[in-house]
Amino acid sequence: QSALTQPASVSGSPGQSITISCTGTSSDVGGYNYVSWYQQHPGKAPKVLIYEVNNRPSGVSNRFSGSKSGNTASLTISGLQTEDEADYYCSSYTTSINFIFGGGTKLTVL
């Protein structure tokens, strides 16, 4: 069971928008609307940004949005801020009542 595929790194300038992709298969991303996105700052626990493809928990900025097409999910961050610099992980429900993560994407805000 391989990890979901994410770009290793992305970068953007303050105020810009970036998109992080997350590619799986029909057994995970493509088969279920249970894709989540997490933000992790160094030395901290992950934080939930998006659940069920495109839902934001209360308290999460509306600058973060999620979508899915086929076997690929995406996280878009608009109006980049310096505090958005962090690692981002996607996760999907998969068969046998379990989950799988992407390899993670390091976001650099230039």
Site map (CB under 8 A) of other proteins, residues 47-86, x = contact: xx--xx----x-----------------------------
**Closest by CA position to 52, among listed 40, 64, 69, 68:** 68
* Alpha-carbon torsion, ordered 62, 49, 30, 95, to 10 deg: -150
Other CB atoms within a 10 A radius of the CB of residue 41 amount to 13
Residue 86 CA to residue 3 CA, distance in Å, equals: 20
Q: Using the minimum distance from each CB to other proteins, give the nearer residue, 14 or 99.
A: 99
Q: Using the minimum distance from each CB to other proteins, give the nearer residue, 3 or 10.
A: 3
103 binds other proteins (CB under 8 A): yes
User: How far is C-alpha 91 from the geometric centre of its chain's CA atoms?
Assistant: 7
Q: How far is the CB of 32 from other proteins (least distance, A)?
A: 8
- In the complex, the residues that contact other proteins under the rule CB under 8 A are 1, 3, 34-36, 38, 40, 45-48, 51-52, 57, 87, 89, 91, 93, 96-104
